[in-house]
Structure formats: C-alpha cells, structure tokens
Amino acid sequence: MNTLIEKYKGIHPGIILERLLNKKAISQRPFALSIGEHPQTINAITKGRRKLNIALALKIEEKLSLEEGSLALLQTYFDIKEEKSKAKQNTPDLTLLRKSLFWDTDISKIDWQEQSVAVIKRIFERGNDIEKKEINRFYKSIRIKDALAQTIRKPYTIYKNKENA
C-alpha cells in the first residue's frame, strides 16, 4: 500500500479507480452494479467530480482486491492537497470584511488580484475604517492610489447623439 499511496498521493482516487478498471478490462457499469452502486456514481467518481466516501471505498477495495483503506487514504491526501491550494490563495482577512459590501457576488469566488480595482473602489466608497485598513494592508498603498485615481467609466448609451450621427 505504501508504494500505491506514495505513487499516487494527491491524485483523485477516481482517476486511479478508472485506471485499475481499464487495466483489468472491467466496464464501469457492470462493476458499479456488482458492488450495488449506481453507474452514475462510479462515473462521477472516475471523472473526479465526486468524492469517494469511505463506505464506497471499502466496497471497491474488496471487489478489486486492494489493501483496505488505500483508496480512502488517497481521497484524504487529495482533500489535503485541495485545502492547501485554497489556503495559498492570496485573500484579505474575510472576517474583517462585511459580506453585505459584496451583495451582488459570492465573496468566496472573488479573484482579489484580477478585480482589485473594483474591490478597492467599493471598500473605499462603502466600507468602514476597519475594512479600509484591511484593504490597505492587503493591497499596499501604491495599488490603492492607482485604483482610486482611475476615472469612472462612462455609462453605455443606447441612442446615438444626433450631432455625431
């Protein structure tokens, strides 16, 4: 098991499962039915769209004669890798920013670097002192000065001005 874990550490166990099924020339649908699962469930797992729970991992391991817990451990290592990559994302301290400032979007999906100008303008327009201080800490003063110095874009017009036509 150690070699399997070390070799595939951080890879979704569904990808490993798909590889094992292909090696043994087993189709997903009959395999799923043989362990009492829906074929759609196995397909979603092999495509990496769904997590592999422990109960299902044990069924699969038993059917494929794998060491008990190997697929569950792979899922755990994959989850750890995913969580670390989320933690590496450079974001301000969201506990200091009110979600109501970003009422029109999911605050967890904001790209803080790509949308920095919009974020800075919104915080400095509607934020309190604590929020402004956090944005100052996160973006640094030069970037904030540049963002606040940008002019507001002109609204789109539907009708052309007769003089320009």
Q: Which long-range contacts (CB under 8 A, 24 or more apart) does 66-72 make?
A: 66/4, 66/20, 67/1, 67/4, 69/1, 70/1, 70/4, 70/5, 71/13, 71/16, 71/17, 72/13
Query: pTM for this structure?
Result: 0.54
pLDDT tens string 49-79: 999 999 999 999 999 999 999 999 999 999 9
